[in-house]
Amino acid sequence: MKSMTKTNGKARKAQPLLAAIEQTDNKTYYELVRRFPLRPICNDKENDRAATVCDGLTDRIDRLSKAEQDYLEVLTDLIIKYESRWDNEIADMNPREIIQYLMEQGNLSQNDLIPQFGSASRVSEFLNGKRKLSTQQAKNLSKRFKLKLTAFLSD
């Protein structure tokens, strides 16, 4: 009988502790929601903000509370859903068309792509159909535009 009382006593003492943890988790969750509400992402600016929040959480992924883990999971789903629209828009384009489309959408000039190509002449030659993308250029473009590498490899 004593052990039962002791166990019940421990359980009673644990309840306020669990409630405090839950309250802290809820507070953390609501702070994250205030920082970036969990609703459909509608434009690149919102997507960039969401990615920043996501990056901050993934930097300490091993130390996230349950509420932060839940928030991160939903936020990641929203980012994936928004970014998947690129897959639909570019599915039938070749790498040159994709780059031209991205340049148009991002108001980019050929000079803006020099870091990915290595030189202005390489950008120009590619856009004019005189040169294909190297594997390294495709990797650079994939990283810059956050698209699958395969989008830049097929031609």
Asked if 27 contacts 64 with a C-beta cutoff of 8 angstroms, the reply is: no
Q: Which residue bears the tokens 């998947």?
A: 84
In a domain, 28, yes or no: yes
pLDDT tens-digit series, residues 22-65: 666 677 778 888 888 889 998 888 988 998 998 888 888 888 88
Enclosing domain of residue 115: 92-153
In a domain, 3, yes or no: no
Do residues 67 and 131 share a domain?
no
In a domain, 74, yes or no: yes
3-class DSSP assignment, residue 91: coil
In a domain, 4, yes or no: no
pLDDT tens-digit series, residues 62-115: 888 888 899 899 999 998 888 777 666 667 789 999 999 889 888 999 999 999
Do residues 106 and 143 share a domain?
yes
Q: Please report the pLDDT score of residue 137 as a whole number.
A: 95
At residue 40, what are phi and psi to the nearest 5 degrees?
A: -55, 140
Gap between the Cα atoms of 25 and 40, Å rounded: 23
Instruction: Give which of 75, 69, 67, 132 is closest to 99, Cα–Cα.
Output: 132
Q: Please report the pLDDT score of residue 112 as a whole number.
A: 96
Do residues 42 and 75 share a domain?
yes
Could you give the number of structural domains in the chain? 2
Q: Which CATH number goes with the domain that contains 100?
A: 1.10.260.40
**CB atoms < 10 A from the CB of 20, how many?**
10
Gap between the Cα atoms of 41 and 78, Å rounded: 7
